[in-house]
A and B are shown apart, each in its own frame.
Chain A
Amino acid sequence: MSEFSVGIRQREAVSVLDLKGYLDAHTAPELEKAFQKQLEDDQYNIVVNFSDLSYISSAGLGVLMQFIEDVRKNEGDIKLSNMSSRVYNVFDLLGFPMLYEIFKEEDEAVEKFQNKSEKLS
């Protein structure tokens, strides 16, 4: 039934969530679980890769909103990458580009985290 899945990859200190399929109110709990797991594991540097996501509704954005405060409170961030123009359009319409850093490529998003941690150390 679920036409949506989340894969989790580790790239050094950064967790990459690969979203696939159709993300709406029906499938949003899946993404919620994936985020919850990251937070339980104290993993606050998160990149969400949208390359295989064909559709997102505001429910999906709701999940991102739900966790962003916690993540940033713990000095992490949720960065987004590889959005199709269709997916980006939804973010844009709902005014999300001002709340999240959106990158063309996952590498750039991961690098951004690494630069930050280098600066700190």
Chain B
Amino acid sequence: MNNESNSSAQDIISDSAALLELSSILNAATDLDFILGNILLSCMGKLMVSRGVVFVEKGAQQYSLRSIKGLTVTELEDNYFLPVGWDHVQKVTDLVGSGNEAIRSFGNCAKDCGLEIIIPMRLEERMVGIIGLSRKVTGTAFASADLKFLESVAAVAATAVKSALVIEELRIVNRRLDSKVQEMNTLFEISREMNTTFDPEAILRIMSYALMGQLRVMHYLVYTSDGERLNLSLSKMPEFSIEDALVQQLQAQHETILFSEIRTPENEVETALHDAGILTVVPMLSQNQPRGVLCLGARVGGEQFDGLELEYLHALANITISALENARLVKETIEKQRIEKELSVATSIQKGLLPKAIPEIEGYEIAAINESSQQVGGDYYDVLQLSEHEFLLAIGDVSGKGIPASLLMANVQAALRTIGPLRLDLREATTRINALIYGNTGADKFITFFWGILNTNAHTFEYVNAGHNPPYHMHGEECLELSEGGLILGIMGTPPPYASQQLYLDKGDIVVTFTDGVNEAMSAEMEEFSDERLKALVAECASLSADETLQRIKDEVHAFTQGAAQSDDITMLILRRSP
């Protein structure tokens, strides 16, 4: 009796010492795994138990397996639902017979892996965890003193476990916060960098860094829309190939596609993408409109994107496409300004080349007009006095538009003003002008050209037509087309010899020269003014002065093209022998 009480007193002392030691270890620790390991080891050591586990509270009545000792194979699940608040040690055999299905299922698993008792760790009203132990190695049953000791351990452990759980939770929250801050920083950095450049390549490079560095995506494609189609802007998938017609189906893609075991390809284009190794398709939205798609291959590491990462991906896609759109707009604006500048330069060159004043010719009337279209063509006319009774009249249309056309026109003018006064035969002079133009330009540049020399003594007009719209000569009632001549200027170095024709101008005869801006003027219905209409009109003007004829043709053309944009310059040079 005495012995027994002695041994029990010793037991109590040794239990207390073990508890005190455990308590001081646990209170100094914050790491949950360390704490749980120590709890198990001190229970197992003290009671000679070879296996033990600890579950900790994960959510409301959810307990997750967190520490295992001595169990190599476990039939335990990671998480259990335990709708209970145990006050004392539970025998697994009792749990197996429980009326509650969840508890019964837990009991069965516990039994299968050899656990015998379950000790709740309680903190006030909550069960923050449970300890499970197998039978003692000695084969003896747990004595009531053992159970008391275990409950004391659980009580000491509960506070430490709870604190460690809180700290762990805080760590997770902190890390999430860190991630979010890091993401925000990157997005901020990306939009700042993208806003400092209008170079699409630089913008895509910044996006690439983010895809690789932030999301660990190494293989991807960027398709951007030019308003009509999707074009491949960047490819980091050298082997990738997919039919263009399929790609175009992604134009209106508004939703993100995340292929997975559950979300399998649903149509032809998705199948093609998936087969090519694309796992994610992210729409690139600018002002909420799809303007491109970002197709991503597998991540390094293989995981799926989580919610935060997807948000990041969307932000990245949208920032990128906005920057690209901005860059495009800026480029377009600059280009437009450049064209406008060029046009105004071309216009002023062209205006400068046209004769400022047309010489008065006794017994003749001359009328001329050059109305520039928006796109400044290369129309040209000139009137030069060669001698007292000789005048050179010329009209031409230089190919192309803008500054190049204006410069070529300047070339023609220089040639004409150099060669004209040399008084060569008109055919020979035409050959020379052709050689000059041909030598000064590429073969893609050419000039339709008509010129002639009026002799006011003989009332003759000798002309050469180098591929120009045949002018009309009203000779009495007759309307003649002046088409004698040869090849357009500037396309051949040595063309076949030019021919010329000499006309006699009667009183009241009129010669109407014009460029294709007149006969090819387009109506709003896309109908051409036409040679026939012009010829008939010229015939109607037989009794009008040169000025009146010019005005009449101009008015008719304007009436005809009402509402349509003027597509080409309108140029006319009209000569009439006074009646």
- Partner of B301 from the list A25, A26, A63, A99 (CB cut-off 8 Å) is A99
Chain B minimum-CB-distance residue to A66: B212
- Partner of B182 from the list A65, A93, A98 (CB cut-off 8 Å) is A93
B:139-188 near A, CB below 8 Å: 175, 178-179, 182, 185-186
Pick from B203-211, B227-235, B506-514 the stretch touching chain A. B203-211
A89 vs B189: C-alpha distance when bound (angstroms): 18
B:180-239 near A, CB below 8 Å: 182, 185-186, 189-190, 193, 205-206, 208-214, 216, 218
B221 to chain A, nearest CB (A): 16
B196 to chain A, nearest CB (A): 8
A25 to chain B, nearest CB (A): 4
A100 vs B348: C-alpha distance when bound (angstroms): 66
Indicate if the CB atoms of A58 and B179 lie closer than 8 Å. no
A64 vs B190: C-alpha distance when bound (angstroms): 18
Q: Does A24 contact B (CB under 8 A)?
A: yes
Q: Beta-carbon contacts of A88-109 to B below 8 Å, as 1s and 0s? A: 0110011110110000000000
Indicate if the CB atoms of A63 and B216 lie closer than 8 Å. no
Indicate if the CB atoms of A59 and B301 lie closer than 8 Å. no
A99 vs B300: C-alpha distance when bound (angstroms): 8
Given the known A-B contacts A59-B209, A99-B300, A99-B301, are A94 and B189 also in contact in the complex, defined by CB atoms under 8 Å?
A: no
Indicate if the CB atoms of A90 and B218 lie closer than 8 Å. no
Secondary structure call for the A interface? helix
- Which B residues are in CB contact (< 8 Å) with A95? 216, 301
A98 vs B175: C-alpha distance when bound (angstroms): 17
B267 to chain A, nearest CB (A): 32
Q: Does A39 contact B (CB under 8 A)?
A: no
Indicate if the CB atoms of B301 and A98 lie closer than 8 Å. yes
B193, B214, B218 — which one has the most chain A CB atoms within 10 A of its CB? B214
B149 to chain A, nearest CB (A): 41
A57 vs B185: C-alpha distance when bound (angstroms): 8
Chain B minimum-CB-distance residue to A65: B212
Chain A minimum-CB-distance residue to B202: A29
Given the known A-B contacts A25-B190, A28-B209, A93-B182, are A62 and B300 also in contact in the complex, defined by CB atoms under 8 Å?
A: no
- Which A residues are in CB contact (< 8 Å) with B212? 61-63, 65-66
- Partner of B214 from the list A24, A94, A99 (CB cut-off 8 Å) is A94
A53 to chain B, nearest CB (A): 14
B434 to chain A, nearest CB (A): 55
- Which A residues are in CB contact (< 8 Å) with B205? 29
A95 vs B211: C-alpha distance when bound (angstroms): 14
- Partner of B213 from the list A26, A29, A59 (CB cut-off 8 Å) is A59
Indicate if the CB atoms of A65 and B213 lie closer than 8 Å. yes
- Partner of A59 from the list B175, B179, B182, B210 (CB cut-off 8 Å) is B210
Total interface residues on B, CB under 8 Å, equals: 22
Indicate if the CB atoms of B211 and A62 lie closer than 8 Å. yes
How many contacting A-B pairs (Cβ < 8 A)?
71
Indicate if the CB atoms of B216 and A99 lie closer than 8 Å. yes
- Which B residues are in CB contact (< 8 Å) with A29? 205
Chain B minimum-CB-distance residue to A55: B185
- Which B residues are in CB contact (< 8 Å) with A65? 212-213, 216, 218, 300
- Which B residues are in CB contact (< 8 Å) with A89? 178
Indicate if the CB atoms of B189 and A25 lie closer than 8 Å. yes
Indicate if the CB atoms of A58 and B186 lie closer than 8 Å. yes
- Which B residues are in CB contact (< 8 Å) with A66? 208, 212, 218
A54 vs B190: C-alpha distance when bound (angstroms): 19
A29 vs B4: C-alpha distance when bound (angstroms): 81
Given the known A-B contacts A59-B189, A95-B301, are A25 and B175 also in contact in the complex, defined by CB atoms under 8 Å?
A: no
Indicate if the CB atoms of B214 and A61 lie closer than 8 Å. yes
Indicate if the CB atoms of B301 and A58 lie closer than 8 Å. no
Indicate if the CB atoms of A62 and B182 lie closer than 8 Å. no
Chain A minimum-CB-distance residue to B179: A93
- Which A residues are in CB contact (< 8 Å) with B210? 25, 58-59, 62
A79 to chain B, nearest CB (A): 17
Q: Does A42 contact B (CB under 8 A)?
A: no
Indicate if the CB atoms of B213 and A60 lie closer than 8 Å. yes
- Which A residues are in CB contact (< 8 Å) with B178? 89, 93
- Partner of B186 from the list A57, A64, A98, A99 (CB cut-off 8 Å) is A57
Indicate if the CB atoms of A24 and B213 lie closer than 8 Å. no
Q: Beta-carbon contacts of A75-95 to B below 8 Å, as 1s and 0s? A: 000000000000001100111
B238 to chain A, nearest CB (A): 12
Q: Does A111 contact B (CB under 8 A)?
A: no
A89 vs B208: C-alpha distance when bound (angstroms): 22
A37 to chain B, nearest CB (A): 18
A29, A62, A93 — which one has the most chain B CB atoms within 10 A of its CB? A62
- Which A residues are in CB contact (< 8 Å) with B300? 65, 99
Chain B minimum-CB-distance residue to A94: B214
B369 to chain A, nearest CB (A): 58
- Which B residues are in CB contact (< 8 Å) with A69? 218
Indicate if the CB atoms of A62 and B190 lie closer than 8 Å. no
- Which B residues are in CB contact (< 8 Å) with A57? 185-186, 189, 213
Given the known A-B contacts A25-B206, A57-B186, are A62 and B179 also in contact in the complex, defined by CB atoms under 8 Å?
A: no
A72 vs B437: C-alpha distance when bound (angstroms): 62
B574 to chain A, nearest CB (A): 65
A96 vs B175: C-alpha distance when bound (angstroms): 15
B433 to chain A, nearest CB (A): 56
Given the known A-B contacts A90-B182, A93-B182, A95-B301, are A61 and B213 also in contact in the complex, defined by CB atoms under 8 Å?
A: yes
A22 to chain B, nearest CB (A): 11
A93 vs B216: C-alpha distance when bound (angstroms): 12
B476 to chain A, nearest CB (A): 80
B182, B209, B216 — which one has the most chain A CB atoms within 10 A of its CB? B209
A89 vs B193: C-alpha distance when bound (angstroms): 23
Indicate if the CB atoms of A62 and B213 lie closer than 8 Å. yes
A102 vs B189: C-alpha distance when bound (angstroms): 26
A54 vs B206: C-alpha distance when bound (angstroms): 21
Chain B minimum-CB-distance residue to A60: B213
Q: Beyond the given A25-B190, A59-B189, A62-B214, please list 11 additional residue pairs across the A-B interface where CB-CB is below 8 A.
A: A25-B193, A25-B210, A57-B185, A57-B213, A59-B210, A61-B213, A62-B209, A62-B213, A63-B209, A65-B218, A95-B216
What are 6 pairs between A and B in contact, CB < 8 Å? A57-B185, A62-B210, A65-B300, A89-B178, A90-B182, A94-B182
Name the 9 nearest CB pairs between A and B, nearest first. Answer: A62-B213, A62-B209, A61-B213, A58-B213, A59-B209, A58-B214, A65-B212, A62-B212, A25-B193
